[in-house]
């Protein structure tokens, strides 16, 4: 791909978007455009069309989304469904209308049914019921990846979709009410250390299994697929490795230097019991993650401390 190609990076101010922007820059792409939500309302089709009229991007990376952890998803299902449907539909439609050469849509591993066999293969999509705690977000992401697939089939465009596992890293949201598991636990455990709290409460039994990927690996995969993947079927992106929440908690405890104990509250929602992606397809293409879990959390904690 020509390094001077004009790329519109939707969601460039978020955790994933910032890392993708850095990865694009490192790879020599020097014509990347981004707009904040105050500058461009992606839920408004007229505004999105006007932006495409003005900027005329040749490639689009759609990393903009309303995201959050279990608590946020349970409390705000309408927002997670409608905002994501609008953002995706508007950007994908405008990309088609303006003859964009390539679009990369970023989804989520929550698209898979809650009782799917593990690890999760791409063909398991729509084979069962979704996990209730994030059903609204999952439905929106399924609609987005299917829209790309249908545009490819009907109009012979090059709109690809990638489904990452749970992500974490620098620029993450550390708000305890709305954040994902890694930033929430990092902040909780850090504050417990500072306040000399003897016990930290953790949602769920701690036995749930999760696949967690550092955001810079996700960014590298995004650019890799932009350059190398041209299939209408979506592709999984992850580490292929899994850890229990208890293992995660004690890794964070060690990194932070917390001396207290943990109370695992099984009465709280904990999502799918196990969720790990089959990443055979992308690994066979030549991409593999670089950061192990401890390295990624160490980098995230350094950023968290520096940003305070």
98 in a known ligand binding site: no
Kindly name the residue from 8, 112, 137, 168 that is annotated as catalytic: 137
Is residue 155 part of the annotated active site? The answer reads: no
Q: Is residue 252 a contact partner of residue 298, using CB atoms and an 8 Å limit? A: no
109 in a known ligand binding site: yes
164 in a known ligand binding site: yes
Dihedral sign from CA coordinates of 253, 258, 260, 263? negative
Helix axis angle for 245-256 and 293-307, nearest 10°, is: 50
Q: Is residue 110 a contact partner of residue 138, using CB atoms and an 8 Å limit? A: yes
- Whether the ω angle into residue 77 lies within 30 degrees of 0, i.e. cis, is no
Q: Is residue 133 a contact partner of residue 271, using CB atoms and an 8 Å limit? A: yes
165 in a known ligand binding site: yes
12 in a known ligand binding site: yes
180 in a known ligand binding site: yes
- Biggest alpha carbon–alpha carbon distance for the chain: 60
289 in a known ligand binding site: no
Distance of CA 249 to the CA centre of its chain: 21
Which helix (DSSP H) or strand (DSSP E) does residue 194 occupy? helix 181-194
Q: Which residues of 73-94 are buried (b: 16+ CB within 10 A; e: fewer)?
A: bbebbeebbebbbbbbbbbbbb
281 in a known ligand binding site: no
108 in a known ligand binding site: yes
141 in a known ligand binding site: yes
2 in a known ligand binding site: no
Alpha-carbon torsion, ordered 152, 156, 157, 161, to 10 deg: 20
Alpha-carbon torsion, ordered 287, 293, 298, 303, to 10 deg: 60
CA gap 207, 252 in Å, rounded: 16
34 in a known ligand binding site: no
CA gap 116, 127 in Å, rounded: 8
257 in a known ligand binding site: no
81 in a known ligand binding site: no
36 in a known ligand binding site: no
110 in a known ligand binding site: no
Specify binding-site residues for substrate. Answer: 188, 203, 210, 270
Catalytic residues: 137
Specify binding-site residues for NADP(+). Answer: 11-17, 106-109, 141, 164-167, 180
């Amino acid at each position: 791909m020509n390094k001077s190609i004009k790329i519109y990076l939707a969601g460039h101010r978020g955790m994933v978007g910032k890392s993708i922007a850095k990865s694009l820059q490192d790879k020599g792409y020097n014509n990347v455009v981004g707009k904040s939500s105050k500058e461009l309302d992606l839920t408004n089709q007229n505004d999105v069309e006007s932006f495409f009229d003005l900027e005329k991007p040749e490639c689009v990376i759609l990393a903009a989304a309303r995201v959050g952890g279990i608590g946020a998803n349970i409390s705000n299902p309408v927002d997670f469904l409608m905002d994501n449907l609008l953002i995706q539909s508007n950007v994908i439609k405008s990309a088609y209308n303006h003859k964009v050469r390539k679009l990369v849509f970023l989804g989520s591993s929550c698209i898979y049914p809650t009782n799917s066999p593990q690890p999760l293969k791409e063909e398991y999509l729509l084979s069962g019921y979704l996990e209730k705690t994030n059903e609204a977000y999952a439905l929106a992401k399924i609609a987005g990846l299917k829209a790309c697939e249908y545009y490819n089939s009907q109009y012979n465009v090059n709109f690809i979709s990638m489904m990452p596992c749970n992500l974490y890293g620098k620029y993450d949201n550390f708000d305890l009410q709305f954040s994902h598991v890694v930033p929430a636990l990092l902040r909780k455990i850090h504050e417990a250390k500072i306040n000399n709290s003897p016990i930290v409460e953790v949602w769920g039994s701690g036995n749930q299994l999760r696949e967690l990927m550092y955001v810079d690996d996700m960014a590298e995969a995004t650019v890799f697929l932009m350059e190398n993947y041209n299939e209408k079927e979506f592709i999984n992106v992850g580490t292929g490795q899994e850890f229990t929440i208890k293992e995660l908690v004690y890794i964070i405890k060690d990194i932070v230097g917390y001396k207290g104990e943990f109370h695992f509250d099984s009465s709280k929602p904990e999502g799918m019991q196990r969720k790990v992606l089959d990443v055979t397809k992308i690994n066979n293409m030549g991409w593999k993650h670089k950061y192990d879990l401890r390295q990624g959390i160490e980098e995230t904690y350094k950023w968290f401390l520096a940003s305070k």
